[in-house]
Chains A and B, each alone.
Chain A
Amino acid sequence: MGLLCSLYSYNYDPYWLTLLHYKKNFLGNYVSLIDDKNFFVSKNGKYNPNEEFLASIKLIKTDPKKFACKFPLRYKYINYKYHLSDFNLSECKELSKYLKDVNPEKAVLVFADADMNKPASMFGHTFIRIDTKENLPVLSSAVNYAAHVTDTNGILFAFKGIFGFYKAYYSLMPYYDKLKQYSDKDNRDLWEYGLKLNKKQIENMALHIWELKDIYSDYFFFSENCSYNILFLIEVADPNLHVTDDYFLTVIPIDTVKDLKSKGMIVSYNYRPSLVTQIETISKPVRNKTLIVKIAKGQIPAFYVLTLNITEEKKARILDSAVRYLEYLSKKIYIDKNEYTKRFISILKARSKIKYISNYQYKTPYNPVNSHNSKRISFTLGHDDINYVKMGLRLSYHTLIDPIEGYKVGSSLAFGNFEAIFKNNELKVNRIGLVEIESLTKRDEFFKPVSWKVFAGFYRKNIHNKNKLVFEINPGGGFTYEIKKALVYAMINTDINLNSDYNKGYSFGVGIESGIVKYDGNNAIIMNLGINRYFLGDIHTKRYFNFNYRFTVNVQNALALDYKFEDEYQINRKIELNIFHYF
């Protein structure tokens, strides 16, 4: 063994570390992020890169076929260095079939954007698409890293996801299956970013994906999540690229795309609209949208459209929207399959009789890769009865006031929203926002989402004559409409506040709130007003009005001017000037 050690050693070759997903832990030792013992040939492989290397060499010498067909990229790498065996990878039957099916030529990093009514999806998701030389994405393969989840209990789901109690796998499937999932079912737009990798590099990526077949790892939402683990596939393809070390503690999907772009790895992009976006865009010039809805619901026969005195294009748009809306409906409500296919065919039969050929152009929205970064620091100059200063740090992600470019209008998601205030020569905590989510999604003829919000955290408030940090949970629900390009909403809120200075130690109330959100170029205006009646615990009423104006200096820097009026126990008026910087 001593002689073996001196002849061979991985010598801290970063590529060996990348191949087996080794990372330095907090003690400075290399540990593989993969937890499945089947990923290693040595007993202690997960914790010992050199032992794994030596055991691999031994196996190549004794049973090259076994090693090579399971770990073809490792075999290629070791054999290139030491030439230990003449075994040729083409003799691996299953591997060869896999490579023939995947037929790797180019690779694309696909980013799934948020579903408008699900701010939780705002963090996005990334996966890889491997293209063949046919250049027909629907014939490509997709590689995805995801946790295998069977729980339906939300809290268990969250706990297990955060603390690594789910097993995650890399899976391979046709790209069209991903489109059915993200585009058609989850209503998420896709951004396809072409990667700067040549054919040989992508072949190596495909070999590494094979090595990861059926191998599990513990899934950690914040750190070892979908986007992070996909990066290994890119790093394995290009040994000069180091991206998996760029993250500390948390990985947000779009940040991985931004990082790759900064390293020159993104060479192209393509926008692929979701089913909902298609319906909205195709139907835009059609005034009678109710007709589209009725056709999709089978209330008006599709051939009626052929009798209308409108342009061929308008007729085509009505039917193209109707069939897509029918597909959308089928995912929301139960439609008997026979009924669905009958309606589906009848719409398309009518469509086939219209000479117009559909080739709708979708205006590409602002590219999320150029959006404001996920962390924000803020500096505020304020005045109510006296002057004060606030400093804030928000760990993630995007709220209504932040520059909207690359984000969905009306969606707000913030975790870790901290603020300190310096007033009256005292520095105090002003806010510890744990979770702040808001979804103002407009209702129209097609889509009738419920707008909602949840705020939970510690906020400094006035209680009678004292100024205290209060624990608050504030859920609300309502409706939003688009009027003259502004979002107008009305919501019913529940507000629960806990602090010993309240009469009875708490205050529980219900209220209504209405507001407007309007974006116009570099400007944004957000206004709301509301009234809450606290009828349990500390009984009182609160009225409030907020006006915010935000000006975008550039995507990573903004200014906001706020006026806040509040009447709770006493009247308080604030005016604030904020500077935001995103990083």
Chain B
Amino acid sequence: MKKLLVIGSIAAMVATSAFAGNLRDNVGCGLGTTLIGDKGNDSIVMQVLAATTNGTSGNQTFGISSGTLGCKKPSKVVSNDKLNKFVADNMDKLAMDISAGHGETLAAVADMLKVPVDKRAAFYAKLKANFSKIYASNKVEAADVIDSIAENI
């Protein structure tokens, strides 16, 4: 009985923290980091009154290169904080662009990796063809994606 209680309470704690983690998990190194976080109050009363401010409840940030959020670094690419942060912050969009063979986020990554403009079409096609290898797991992280992409240059 005691064992059950202990297991039960641990499970409950893990479940709540996982739940809380998912709800608040809008920073991270993998996919799905734009999931619902601070949804805010969407009620109609709030909306009618929300015309009065364009408020943000988030922390006031002033800075555009605040590091790479503690994510692991790529091993096959020369250290490039800007690239690492960009990919970590745009994992979902990058994956969408690679699968479709075209997109702004993908173009930015190609630019940061200094892929020559005349070689980009082939680069994109290669990445698209290797999509399943680059995103072999849904838990893939920014560093893995960058390393995989670098192999295709």
A357 near B64: Cβ-Cβ < 8 Å: no
Which of B108, B111, B138 interacts with A342 by CB under 8 Å?
B138
A287 → chain B closest CB, angstroms = 21
**What is the chain B residue whose CB lies nearest that of A324?**
B96
The residues of A that contact B22 with a CB separation of less than 8 Å are 334, 336-337
B53 near A147: Cβ-Cβ < 8 Å: yes
User: What's the tally of chain A residues with a CB closer than 8 Å to chain B?
Assistant: 79
> Does B51 interact with chain A (Cβ within 8 Å)?
yes
> Known: A213-B62, A359-B102. Is A138-B90 also a contact (CB below 8 A)?
yes
**What is the chain A residue whose CB lies nearest that of B136?**
A345
A334 to B49, CA, bound (A): 26
B53 near A138: Cβ-Cβ < 8 Å: no
> Known: A149-B56, A334-B36, A352-B132. Is A157-B50 also a contact (CB below 8 A)?
yes
The residues of B that contact A180 with a CB separation of less than 8 Å are 34
A120 near B47: Cβ-Cβ < 8 Å: yes
> Known: A147-B56, A219-B53, A358-B102. Is A136-B95 also a contact (CB below 8 A)?
no
The residues of B that contact A536 with a CB separation of less than 8 Å are none
The residues of B that contact A437 with a CB separation of less than 8 Å are 48
B116-132 contact mask (Cβ, 8 Å, vs A): 1 or 0: 00000000100011011
> Does B23 interact with chain A (Cβ within 8 Å)?
yes
Which of B31, B101, B103, B104 interacts with A341 by CB under 8 Å?
B31
Which of B39, B46, B129 interacts with A154 by CB under 8 Å?
B46
> Does A405 interact with chain B (Cβ within 8 Å)?
no
A413 to B51, CA, bound (A): 10
B35 near A161: Cβ-Cβ < 8 Å: no
- A-B interface, 10 closest residue pairs, ranked by CB to CB distance from nearest: A149-B55, A352-B131, A161-B53, A120-B51, A358-B100, A161-B52, A348-B99, A357-B101, A341-B138, A158-B49
26 contacts between A and B (CB under 8 A): A120-B48, A121-B50, A125-B54, A138-B104, A157-B55, A158-B53, A160-B53, A161-B52, A161-B55, A171-B61, A172-B62, A176-B89, A214-B62, A221-B52, A221-B53, A316-B100, A320-B96, A330-B36, A331-B34, A331-B36, A336-B22, A338-B139, A341-B139, A352-B99, A437-B48, A454-B44
- B residues within 8 Å of A by Cβ? 22-23, 25, 30-32, 34-36, 39, 41, 43-57, 60-65, 86, 89-90, 92-93, 95-96, 98-105, 107-108, 111, 124, 128-129, 131-132, 135, 138-139
- A residues within 8 Å of B by Cβ? 98, 101-102, 118-123, 125, 134, 136-139, 141, 144, 146-150, 152, 154-155, 157-158, 160-162, 166, 169-174, 176-177, 180, 184-185, 213-214, 219, 221, 225-226, 316, 320, 323, 327, 330-338, 340-342, 344-345, 348-349, 351-352, 357-359, 413, 435, 437, 452, 454, 477
